[in-house]
Every structure is written in C-alpha cells, then in structure tokens.
Chains A and B, each alone.
Chain A
Amino acid sequence: MRKVVAIILASAFFAVLLVSFSNIQQADYGEKEYYYQNPINGSYANESVPSHYISNTKNETGAVNAVTAIVVEYRGFDTLGEVTVLFTAATGVSFLLYKTRGGKKRTEANLILKEGSKLVLPFILLTGAYIFIHGHLTPGGGFPGGAVIASGFLLMMLSYPKFFMKERAVSVTESMAGITFAFIGLLGLVFASSFLQNFLPLGDAGYILSAGIIPIIYIAIGFKVGSELSSIADKLKEVQK
C-alpha cells in the first residue's frame, strides 16, 4: 500500500516539476532585462543579474572564468558557507564514527594495483592541484580539484588496507585552509570596505597571478575539500564491517 502511494506521489511530483521547469524555457532564460531598485542607495540598474555577470566579470574581478568569479567573488559568501557545510559534515562523521581503527583484516590487493597506484598517485595529486590553481583561468576550481586529490587518497586506501591518513595532518590542513579563507575575508573588511572584498591588484586577465584573491581562496578551498573528503573516506573505512 505504502509503495503504491509512494509511486503515485513520486510520479505526480515529477509531473509538477516537469510542468514548472518547462515554463522556464518560455521565459527566455537569462535574456530578459529588468529594472532594479538598489536597496542601499535607491538607484536603478537597467540590466539583469546574469547579463551583468556576462558583461562585467572580467573588468570587476579580473578572472577569465566567469563561473569561478561568481563562485568566489560575487557569491563568495555562499561558497564560504558551502565549505562550512562540508566541514560540518566531515566533523559530524568523525564525531559520530568512533570505532577504533584496524578492526577487521582485509585481503591484500594484488601487486599491479599496489604498484600502479603508487605510480599514479603523484599525477592525480598534480592534476588536482592544477585544477584548483588554474580555477580562475580554465574550467575547474577548488571543489573539483579537492575531489580529485581525495580520489587519489581513496585509491591508496583501496590498494593498501593498512593505509591510513595521518589524522593530525589532515585536520591541521583542513583548519589552516578554512582559516585562510575566513581570514582573507576579514582582511577584505580591513583593507577594502566589505567582507571577502578583493584587496589585491587584479593584474592582467589570463595570467596565473591575476584576479586578486580568487587563486588564494581557490587553493585554500582545494586543500580543504581534498582533506575533508579524504578524512570522510578514511573514517568510513575504519568502521566498515
């Protein structure tokens, strides 16, 4: 009975979503322009938010990758929040999973996997680092870069049953990265006028050393996401039965 109800409800819900998002196409996504009243100074702006991003990103942030500019600069506060959500989840996992390590013996992986992963690991880490360091220039950024790094460690965990992250090192990395992010935000409050505001020179768009604080924040995010995801994987591995 419950299953039937669930199926009916789920399909009805899907229909509602279908209807609602099909309407969006008719409303020219990202095209229409509106008049806004700025709540702070009461002035009116004659463009929509998406078109503002498209036309002004390079001038305002110095980043070539508009997505990165939105994530780190325009909506940097949300990103700080998202990083914190991840951090909270990682802390929660490690807080609740309290079983001691090495509970169960696992079979050794075969030689090819072991040696192969040793060989691949540096490249994975390098790729990850590349993704987040070049976040403001090419597609990618802190989150995917961090995930790639974590996948490298995951590979090591799979191939070496006795491989454990160094808990202290991971948590210090995590903390330092988070502190860097929040601290840069506060520096923005001190050197410029608002939290997370850019206070470094924008530089020439397209070069590594450009776009002000974006690369620094993205590197911090990369470290943070990498260490958090690895530590979650590490913790989950410990309690596996």
Chain B
Amino acid sequence: MLELIFAVLLIAAFATLFIKSGRIAAIISLIASAMPLIAVMDWANDFGIKAFSFGVENSMDFSIAGITMHLSITSFAWFFAVMVFSLLPPIFLFSYSFFEKNNGFFPFMLFLITAVFGILLASDFLTLFFFWELMAASSFILVYISRDKKAIMSYLAFSVLSAVLILVGIALLYSQSGTLIFSDIVLNADKVTVSAIILMVAGFAVKSALMPLHAWAPFVYSKADEPFVAFLSGGLSKVGYYGMFFMLFALPGAKILHQYFNSGVATYLLAVIGAISAFIGTLLAFMEDDLRKLLAYSSIAQLGYIAVGFGIGSSLAMAGALFQAFNHAFFKSVLFLAAGAVAYRTGKWKISELGGVGYKMPFTFMAALFAIFALAAIPITSGFAAKWLLYEAAVSNKYIFITPIMLIAGVGAFLYSFRILYGVFLGENRHDDIKEAPLPMIAGMFLLVLPLIIFLIFPGYMLDMMHSALVDAGIGTISHTNYVIRTGTASYNTLAVVIGMMVVMIPAFLIYVLRKQKKVDFKDNFLAGEPYEFYGYISMHAANNFYKPIEDVIMPYLRKGAISFYTALYNAMGRVSDASRKIYTGLSQDYTIYIIIFFFIIVGWLIW
C-alpha cells in the first residue's frame, strides 16, 4: 500500500509532465495528492486518534540492490504530515483555476510531495538526505519557472548550503556512531556530535527561513507561482522544522547540547534567534509595499515563533510551537492564495496600487480576513491559543529578553495585517471592473480556513494530535480537555471565550446589518483631508507610506541586514574570483613555468 502511494505520486508526476492543459493536470494532481492523506489518516489510529483504516502499513524497507531505504512513520513525523498534506488538495483545487497552461508546476509539485512524504517517513539518514535533496531539486525547478534571477540564484545557493550542511552533519554523526539508522544511533556529548547537531539544525533552519539564513525567502516568495509559494511557506518550512524537531528532541540533540555546554545556552540561542527573526521580520513586513514581500517577511516572523518554542523546549513551549506551526501552515497558505487570487483578477501586487478589492471579491476577502485574524492572534481563530501558550512559556521561564521582543512582534503583526485589510481589500475603490475569484479558488481557500476555526473551538483536539509526539520525544504534554487548556499558572477555556466573543459580535453584526446605511464614497475621505501631494511625496495613508516616520528612523539600520551582508559577500567573492583568474594569464610560457615550479614543489615536498 505504501509502495502504491509512492507509485501513484510518481506516475502522476510523470504523466503531468506531458500534459499541456493546466486543468487536466490539476485534476490528476488533486487525486494524487489525496493519496498521502489517506495514509496519514490511517496512521492516526496508531497515535491514539480514531479514524478510518485503509490498511496502510506503517513501515517499509525499500531495497535497490546494495542500498536499503528504511521508511517508517513516527508520532512526530505524523503530526507534521497531517499539517503538510492537508494543505495540498486545497492548493491543487486553487490551482485548477490559477493555471490555464501547465507550465511545469504540477509535475514538479508532485515530485516535491513525493520527496516530502519520503522525508517524513525516513528512518535512516540516507533516506532522509536523499529525499531532502529531491525536495531541494524539485522545489528549485519550481522556483526556476519564475524566471527571476535573484530568486533562482539565492534559492539554489541556500538549498545547496542547507544540503551540504546536513550532509556534513550526517557524516560527522556517522563517524561517531558508525550507523545511519536512527534507532541504532547512540549519541555522546563530544565535540564532533555537538558540531554535527549544530550543523544539521542550521541546515534545516535554511528551509524554515530562520533569520541569518532567510535571505532567499523574500525573493522566492515574491516571484514564484502563488500556489507553490503557499506550499513553500505553509508546508516546506514545516518540513525544515520537522528536521529541527527531529534533531533536537527525537534524537535527542537538545539533551546532548545541554550536557556538552553544561547549560541551556545553545537552545537559548535558538530561542533568541527565533525571537529576533520574529521581531525584524515584523519590522520589515510592515514597511513593505509589495504584497508578496510583505507576506514573505511575515512568514519569516511567524516562523520565528516556532523556533522560540523549540528553543525553550518546555512542554508548554513545545505545545505552543507545534500549534503555531499548524496554524501558520494554514493561515499563511490562505493569505498567499488570496494574494494570488487578487493578482489573478487585478494583475497587481503593490498595496499602494490596490484597494477596494474586497467589495468585488467578498469571499476572497472573508477567507483572507480569517487568516489575518489567525496571524494577528485575535481570539476569533486558533492563532490565539498558540501564541498564548508561547508567551506563557516564555514568561514562566523568565526569559526577559525574549518575552518583550515577542510581544512587540505580536503587536507588529497586527500593524501590517491591518495594511493588507485596508490597503488591498478595503479603502479606496479602484477596481470596478473585476469579478469574484473563480469557485475552485474560493473553495480551496475556505477549505484551508476551516481548521483555523475548528481548532479555535476545540484546541484540545490539536493537543490530542500532538500528544504522542510530545510524549515520544520525552517532553511531556500539558493537561487539557476539549475546550480547556490548563497550564501551570492558569487555564484557558476556549468555549467561554468563543461564547463571550459571540455575545459581543453577534449583536454588533446584527446592528451593522440592520441599521439604515448611507453609502459614503471612499474617494472623498481616504486621505483624511490631507493634500494628495505632501512635502514632495505622496502623502501617508493606510495603503501608502503609512509607517513612513518609523521607516525613516529604522530603515538605515535594517539596510545593514543579512541580505546586504550576503550581497557584500557575493561581491567580495567576485573580486576574489576575478583575481584568481589572473593566474590564467593566457601565455603558454607562464603555464610552462607553472608546470616546472609545480614539479619542484612536489619533488621538494616528497623528498624532504
């Protein structure tokens, strides 16, 4: 059965390679992408959750003469598999309308899914690395389709960096323990093992766009096809976090790091990096005018929270981190898809050029609205529960540096999500001639919103899902019922919160609907009385230069950030390269002299 799933995915991938029509390819992909979901559902029974059973075996050894690949599902891989694979059918539903022609998105997306399935099932390092590289290769081709130079170069460079870091880490671990199979590996707290763990965590962090290694993300997220970006941000970044989770808690690397450094300094550093990612990502996001770049920085920020949770490592923090990962997978996919839907109808990406789209595309607006609530952690979606767990974990661990940064970033999330709402969907109505997005797109987006609402009301289900993962990783869970989460210091009853919200919201909504309205044309007041041209630049309003003062203060410092560092590195390397090519003078005399000098050097080296 497991072979069948792989076979179906690969056959579908090869089939779509030769199909010109985007519609047919989307249908094939949709069917194929349901296959891993079947397996995921089946395995739920193994981890204490009742679901249908299809008889999918939970481990498999796949042997090609000489090399055996061990595949089996673990509880934590299963948790990540749930979130990654439930994203896919809605995304393919969305892309049914998005792609008229099959430009290579569908086949390589299916290869990508195969690779992710393999990564999550891998139970030895060769399998893990093979599928990791397959993922890097197929996602690179998806980026390559975008034809953007910076995206292509940065994505390939960082993919290879991540791959080589992981490979060297594997080699280090292998030299210590002599085996590649996860269950046989015994770790000792020595220098080699510790550096292996650090290298591999860094390698996985590249995919998760953690701060110093995030430089590819803004370019790729803003240029590649939206459905792919939705999966890249929603799904693939989680695969990176799966790798980190695996290294730190399943192997378990965090304990080794504690033993070696005799304190939690390494994991604390991870938490700090996560918090800084969240903070700076947020700052960059709310000054960005390009909608896709805004979402990219927002992704970096939101993914930073997960790293904070991993760094703290208590049961509370881990629950929060996994919850946040799950939420982020869904709301960020919705946002990218919504951005894609808006661009599909208007063809524009700049927030300052958009506006009033929500009047014409109300369903897209609705979906995006829920996603933004989740992003900003407003307690009408499940985003709140995740952030709350994380904050409480940070506070209860007395992390005086991390906690305030996270809180500021949390407010910041609201600041930029507000700009999406106002600048894109509300505000001045500039788009009279557009229609609502096609039905498959809307259906895809709403399918993705659904879990956000379900886990708002029943966060206990989520905690049930991660229960065996946390227990298997030796972290321990927090006590909960379906509606109530009890932490050490407090308890949080979602049902009460939801009912409370309803009590306030429903009357407000009714009043809004029932009262007599006078329609006001936004054109009159969107500048709030300011002249349009103001001190030489277009004046500030919600869609344009809204945070100009902050930007003027902060931007000079942010410019010296990671991306300019990498650019400088690239240029410096370029100068070294130009200098090194001076060795090749083009004169055969010189080359002959080189030959003789080389000869003398090796003779000298060998004899003396």
- Please report A residues at the B interface, Cβ cutoff 8 Å: 2, 5-6, 9-10, 12-13, 16
Contact = CB atoms under 8 A, between A and B. Distances in A.
Interface string B274-318: 000000000000000000000000000000000000000000000
Interface in B575-608: 589-590, 593, 596-597, 599-600, 603
A12 B593 contact: no
A16 B603 contact: yes
Nearest to B603: A16
| 8 shortest interchain CB distances as A-B pairs | A9-B596, A13-B596, A5-B593, A9-B593, A2-B589, A6-B593, A12-B600, A16-B603
7 contacts: A2-B589, A2-B593, A9-B593, A9-B600, A12-B600, A13-B600, A16-B600
A12 B597 CA distance: 10
Contacts of B597: 9
Interface residues of B, number: 8
Nearest to B600: A12
B590, B593, B596, B603: residue with the most chain A Cβ atoms closer than 10 Å: B596
A6 B595 CA distance: 12
Contacts of B600: 9, 12-13, 16
Interface of B: 589-590, 593, 596-597, 599-600, 603
Nearest to A13: B596
Interface of A is mostly: helix
Contacts of B590: 2
A223 to B, nearest CB: 36
Nearest to A2: B589
Nearest to B597: A9
A229 B469 CA distance: 82
Contacts of B596: 9-10, 13
Contacts of B603: 16
Contacts of A13: 596, 599-600
B74 to A, nearest CB: 53
A187 B600 CA distance: 47
A5 B596 CA distance: 11
A221 B457 CA distance: 95
A129 B599 CA distance: 44
B587 to A, nearest CB: 9
Contacts of B589: 2, 6
Nearest to A10: B596
Contacts of A12: 600
Given A6-B589, A9-B596, A13-B596, 7 more contacts: A2-B589, A2-B590, A6-B593, A9-B593, A12-B600, A13-B599, A13-B600
A16 B601 CA distance: 13
Contacts of A5: 593
A10 B596 CA distance: 8
A6 B599 CA distance: 14
B392 to A, nearest CB: 73
A6 B587 CA distance: 14
A13 B595 CA distance: 11
Nearest to B590: A2
Nearest to A6: B593
Contacts of A6: 589, 593
A12 B596 CA distance: 10
A141 B180 CA distance: 64
A5 B603 CA distance: 19
Nearest to B596: A9
B86 to A, nearest CB: 64
A6 B600 CA distance: 13
B601 to A, nearest CB: 12
Contacts of A2: 589-590, 593
A13 B596 CA distance: 8
B422 to A, nearest CB: 71
A150 B278 CA distance: 84
A5 B600 CA distance: 13
A56 B435 CA distance: 99
